Amino acid sequence: MIVLSGPIGAGKTSLTTLLAEHWNAPAFYESVDDNEILPLFYQNPQKYAFLLQIYFLNKRLDAIKEAKDNRYSVMDRSLFEDSLLFHLNADLGRSTKTEVETYDSLLANMLDPVSPDDYQKIPDLLIYLHVSFEIMLARIKKRGRSYEQIEHDASLYDYYRELNRRYDQWFAQYDLSPKLEIDGDQLEFVENQQAREQIFRLVDQKIAQILG
Ligand SMILES: Nc1ncnc2c1ncn2[C@@H]1O[C@H](COP(=O)(O)OP(=O)(O)OP(=O)(O)O)[C@@H](O)[C@H]1O
Ligand SMILES: Nc1nc(=O)c2ncn([C@H]3C[C@H](O)[C@@H](CO)O3)c2[nH]1
């Protein structure tokens, strides 16, 4: 299981599709367009932060369960980033102490194998799509989901800046699986075939190294 990590608008969904096609492997996307809670969360984060997190955690477990039956699979975001997003929101006062404790304990339980042959929820490779704050903002704007726009809600500027900062910190410390960083500012893989091939080479090399 290969996981694509990165902040909002980094290009995870786009690269998930490209890598899945490259390996002829199934892709597992985040629930966004069919997610009724997401627009409600952006309207009223105080009310919906916890519910949204439980929703994402549950969907994530569904996806991991389904992915485990494939030799290769590509997943748009990891469990660890769900937690990162939750803790950012909690630190902004959008969840109670009990909600934080319940979430953390639920996640720990999910990660803990129930038996020795329980399936693995930790990826085999985590790819971090690093983008600068400026590029992140430009991509969010380019994609144009109305509830994510700063013009719609000026407080999102600080939210995105802090999220971008925490992502760098989190990735630097992440050590649960092999990892690879890709420069999402420089590699315009959506429009540029050469950039795409450069990414395929980098990822294939990393997998060959992991497989020994
Ligand atoms: N490397 C890139 N070069 C050019 N455009 C890009 C690149 N990466 C992403 N984009 C564009 O930026 C926008 C956001 O990309 P995408 O939806 O793949 O991001 P994401 O990381 O999945 O976001 P989210 O976290 O919100 O799900 C899209 O319009 C996409 O076409
Ligand atoms: N609060 C919060 N917690 C999550 O775990 C989470 N995962 C994704 N998202 C938001 C970001 C994009 O707008 C959109 C697509 O990634 O959904 C989240 N928001």
Give nearest CA residue, ligand 2 atom 16. Answer: 8
Task: Give the H or E element holding residue 27.
Answer: strand 27-28
Looking at all shown ligands, the one closest to residue 85's CA atom is: 2
Question: Structure tokens of 95?
Answer: 């969840």
pLDDT band at 119 (very low <50, low <70, confident <90, very high): confident
Q: Is the CB of 11 under 6 A from ligand 1?
A: yes
Q: What is the CATH number of the domain that holds 54?
A: 3.40.50.300
Give nearest CA residue, ligand 2 atom 1. Answer: 85
| Domain with 54 in it | 2-211
Other residues' Cβ atoms within 10 Å of the Cβ of residue 183: 14
DSSP assignments along 54-79, one per residue: HHHHHHHHHHHHHHTTSSS-EEES-H
Q: Ligand 1 centre from 110 Cα, in Å?
A: 29
202-to-87, 93, 155, 209 alpha-carbon distances in Å: 31, 40, 37, 11
pTM (2 d.p.):
0.96
Q: Ligand 2 centre from 42 Cα, in Å?
A: 10
Catalytic residues: 76
Q: Is the CB of 6 under 6 A from ligand 1?
A: yes
Whether the CA torsion 99, 30, 77, 129 is positive or negative: it is negative
pLDDT tens column, 150-208 = 999 999 999 999 999 999 999 999 999 999 999 999 999 999 999 999 999 999 999 99
Q: Ligand 1 centre from 206 Cα, in Å?
A: 23
Give nearest CA residue, ligand 1 atom 31. Answer: 190
Q: Is the CB of 195 under 6 A from ligand 1?
A: no
In this prediction the ipTM stands at: 0.97
Amino acid 198: pLDDT: 97
The number of folded domains in the chain is: 1
Looking at all shown ligands, the one closest to residue 89's CA atom is: 2
Looking at all shown ligands, the one closest to residue 35's CA atom is: 2
pLDDT tens column, 41-77 = 999 999 999 999 999 999 999 999 999 889 899 999 9
Q: Is 187 within 8 Å of 199 (Cβ atoms)?
A: yes
Closest-CA residue to 209 (of 179, 170, 165): 179
Task: Compute the mean pLDDT over every residue in the chain, rounded to the nearest whole number.
Answer: 95
Ligand 2, residue 56: give the atom nearest the CA.
Answer: 5
